[in-house]
Amino acid sequence: MGAIFRFKQFAVDQGNCAMKINTDGVLLGAFAQQQAAVRILDIGTGTGVIALMLAQSHPQAMVDAVEIDPEAADQAAENFRQAPFADRLRLFAGSFVAMQPGSSYDLIVSNPPFYTNSLHNPDQRKKLAKHTDHLFFESLIDFVDMHLAASGRFLCIVPTALADELLLDFLPVRQLYVQQELAISSFPGGSPIRKLLSIGRESVQTEHAALAIYEQKGVYTAAYKALLSPYFLAF
């Protein structure tokens, strides 16, 4: 993939980012378009692509983004400056735990690092982006609990095992609940490889849905193309 990724309404330079644009991120950004919001936060923005997608889909919203990797933060900030909605995007360089937002957010999103307790990548920047542990997720959920509006939503995309065995353990004690769950598989009928969770403060029966990315090798499903069509030039 080249350094410049062009979307219908903006472009993303990812040349200086350890973590490039990926399917997880764009699925999260596209899925989040259904959530009404005027204050949005993207935690771990990387290239800034999710924040940019949300600025496009929420034309009345102010979108904050936070990134701990200095080079990625600089890259995201430049991508924001070049966007047609630059006046509604704001980049915080550093850890989300150091943020002190002036008010709560209607929508918080995160495509977080995972591979919990796995072997560390020798590339330190990729290690920072991809590897985490239970303390990270506990800090993330605590931050969401502190800064999510009463009727707000927190959306994240994680591997299936992590959703089932780790992330959900932190929610009930904080009175946060999975309200929607999208199980994502590579092909129709396949086992889910990711879960996209929509989390809120109201305990309701979880809505379950599924999405397959490919109809067959190299051929995207109609549902995937419909979800990404507002953003991808190819669709």
Write down all domains in the chain, each with its CATH number in brackets.
Answer: 4-228 (3.40.50.150)
Q: Beta strands 39-43 and 105-110: pairing type?
A: parallel
**Model confidence, pTM:** 0.90
Q: What is the pLDDT of residue 2?
A: 53
Q: At which residue do the structure tokens 């943020």 appear?
A: 99
| Dist CA 61 CA 32 (whole Å) | 13
Q: What is the pLDDT of residue 168?
A: 73
Q: What is the pLDDT of residue 128?
A: 46
| Dist CA 207 CA 192 (whole Å) | 16
Residue 75 tokens, joined: 């890259």
Q: What is the pLDDT of residue 117?
A: 46
CA distances from 218 to 120, 164, 221 (A): 31, 29, 10
**Closest to 191 measured CA to CA, from 161, 226, 156, 221:** 161
Element (H, E) at 121: none
Distant-in-sequence, close-in-space partners of 127: CB < 8 Å, separation ≥ 6: 120, 121
Residues of the chain with pLDDT under 70: 1-2, 114-134, 166
